[in-house]
Amino acid sequence: MLLSTRGLSKRFEGLNAVQGVDLDLPEGEIRALIGPNGAGKTTLVGMIAGRITPSDGQVIFDSRDVTRLPAHRRIARGMAYTFQITSVFARLSVAENVGLAARRHLKGPKVQDAVAEALARVGLTAQAGDEAGDLSYGHQRLLEVAMGIAQRPRLLILDEPTQGLSEGEIAGFETLIRDLARTTTILLIEHNMRVVMALAQRITVLDAGRVLAEGTPAEIHANRAVQAAYLGGSGDAASG
Amino acid sequence: MRVVALHMGLLALLLGLHFVLPAYHQGNIARVMVLASFAMGYNILFGYTGLLSLGHALFFAAGMYGTGLAVQHLAWGAGPALVGGIAAGAVVSGALAFLALRTSGVAFMIVTLMFAQAGALALLYFSEWTGGDEGFVLPQGGRLLLGLDLSDANIRYLAAFALFATCLMMCLWLVRTPFGRVLIAIRENEERVRMLGYDPFAHKFAAMVISGTMAAAAGAAYGVLFGYVGSSFAEVQNSILPLLYVLLGGAGTVLGPFIGTLFMFYLIDLSSDITTAHMLIAGVALVGLTLFAPQGIMGEVRRRLWKGLP
């Protein structure tokens, strides 16, 4: 297992945001994490990446207990996290945004190559010299992904990466993720069910802070409890 | 390349001015270069890393007193005393960084201000050694460096120039290294930097030590070059001044601190010829600049003319 959580929980003053989550993510898998708004998805990945301190439980990454490591040390061990709310360096150039991600593990001329490669993969080569804050919202989302790619992570956590992307951009994004999955394990929070069904090898459904179900897209599609809690019966409706 | 040419051009100009300036302005520019070195140190923390400190007078004074006390009480020569002053600045800024960087924003301003005030009061309290609010005049023996008399106007100018050139080249180099670029990224979005795998605390700590040590070097040089060590340099005004210089000249630009210091120095100098209310004129000019060039002089140059200016 590349990533495991055991009994991972977070309580915010009286609210159990995440309760006793056991998650096992083998190397090379694309795993989708779905659930209604407020199910605790972002809190869960926040605890995995170290942005949020868990109230209870463990995070094991690459067979080491990283529960007590600060976020930057987990990232240095091979995690990457792209933000749900776009969080790029708005006043720095697109290339410098990706450069910062690449320089964490590369030096000298290799940095430029890595930056060029990451920008090419998300299709932002032409915008390399622009200020990141001037990009359209969709392009800023892609820049987030490019920063994740440039980190060359073993585990890439994507928090709602397709939010705000056009249909055409989503199709390109799906191709990109399949391509990335050959070298990287991916944990994907996603609301767009079409993207989830197309990409994920397995799906974990979170509801009210607990794991409601886990399985292949077909199994989740057929699961009554999931339909009741989340999909509203139709199975392919995109949820906001 | 153009960037390096611009900065080296300024240094060449300042070196050239040494031979043509009348004595009065030569003394002024020497003082401006030392104060600009102070402001450049301040700019590393404020302009590039985004941390607003109100305690840099403490670092300036650490350098000044570290050097001055060693000359006065231990009879050290200027060379070892300057090294001692700079080392004192490094230690003091490291200690304050360790404490103050647990906070951020307004709390950081207040914590740095409070420690600097404590430092200023300590100088008054130990007046037997420090001369209290009168300070002390450095003996001539402490103003000799490698056989050069630093109280001589020509040598003083060149010594101030050497300090300024060193600080300027260090800044220019620093902000273009991977380390310096992480500092800029921390200013822009600290949480994102953390989630790219960099340790923000370690970077901010290093930035504060570099910043404080540069301020201390300016303080040490100021004492030796102008021959006086006084507790007014440890007071809060002396923490506000580098902030003003940097804001005027352009925060987060390498040349900004020098331009701001030069502008402010001559603004006060010229307006005090006209009126005793010279700070009023300085205040009006400041208000005007904040209204029409909120990013400072070099900040405007970068915005309008030269996008990649570091």
Query: Nearest residue of A to residue B178 by CA position?
Result: A103
Both tokens assigned to A34 = 């779905």
Both tokens assigned to A232 = 């509203």
pLDDT tens figures, B54-104: 999 999 999 999 999 999 888 888 889 999 999 999 999 999 999 999 999
**Which of A79, A89, A152 to mutate: most B Cβ within 10 Å?**
A89
**Beta-carbon contacts below 8 Å between A and B:** 58
CB-CB under 8 Å, A96 with B178? no
pLDDT tens figures, A162-179: 888 888 889 888 999 999
Distance from B4 to chain A by nearest Cα, in Å?
20
**Residue-level pLDDT at B142:** 77
Q: Are B2 and B152 in contact (CB under 8 A)?
A: no
Interatomic CA distance for residues B111 and B118, integer angstroms: 11
**Residue-level pLDDT at A108:** 86
**Residue-level pLDDT at B29:** 95
Give B188's contacts in chain A (Cβ within 8 Å): 89-92
Is pLDDT at A237 greater than 80 in this prediction?
A: no
Stretch (H or E) spanning A194: helix A193-199
Q: How far is CA A47 from the centre of its chain?
A: 13
So what's the ipTM on this one? 0.87
**Cα separations in angstroms, B131 against B74, B190, B210, B229:** 15, 43, 29, 9
Sign, Cα dihedral of B97, B103, B109, B112: negative
**Residue-level pLDDT at B75:** 84
Interatomic CA distance for residues A31 and A200, integer angstroms: 5
Instruction: Kindly state the average pLDDT of the residues B166-175.
Output: 96
Distance from A107 to chain B by nearest Cα, in Å?
9
Edge-first strand listing for the sheet containing A210-215: A79-82, A155-159, A185-189, A30-34, A202-207, A210-215
Both tokens assigned to A114 = 């890595």
pLDDT tens figures, A78-103: 999 998 777 899 999 999 999 999 99
Q: Which residues contact B112 (CB under 8 A, 6 or more apart)?
A: B53, B54, B55, B56, B58, B96, B100, B239
pLDDT tens figures, B118-149: 999 999 999 888 888 888 988 887 787 887 88
- Give me the count of residues in chain B: 310
Distance from B303 to chain A by nearest Cα, in Å?
12
What average pLDDT does chain A have?
90
**Cα separations in angstroms, B29 against B24, B32, B154, B167, B232:** 9, 5, 12, 16, 21
Give A109's contacts in chain B (Cβ within 8 Å): none
**Residue scoring higher pLDDT (A32 or B283):** A32
From B184, B185, B199, residue closest to A72, measured CB to CB = B199
Distance from B197 to chain A by nearest Cα, in Å?
4
Write the DSSP symbol of residue A131. Answer: B
pLDDT tens figures, B204-246: 999 999 999 999 999 999 999 998 999 999 999 999 999 999 9
Interatomic CA distance for residues B12 and B287, integer angstroms: 32
Task: Provide the pLDDT confidence category of residue A230 given band limits of 50, 70 and 90.
Answer: low
CB-CB under 8 Å, B195 with A75? yes
Give the β-pairing of A3-12 and A79-82.
unpaired
Instruction: Kindly state the average pLDDT of the residues B243-257.
Output: 93
Interatomic CA distance for residues B149 and B156, integer angstroms: 8
Task: Provide the pLDDT confidence category of residue A238 given band limits of 50, 70 and 90.
Answer: very low
**Residue-level pLDDT at A232:** 55
DSSP assignments along A59-80, one per residue = EEETTEE-TTS-HHHHHHTTEE
Interatomic CA distance for residues B212 and A202, integer angstroms: 53
Give A88's contacts in chain B (Cβ within 8 Å): 189, 192
**Residue-level pLDDT at B130:** 87
CB-CB under 8 Å, A101 with B189? no
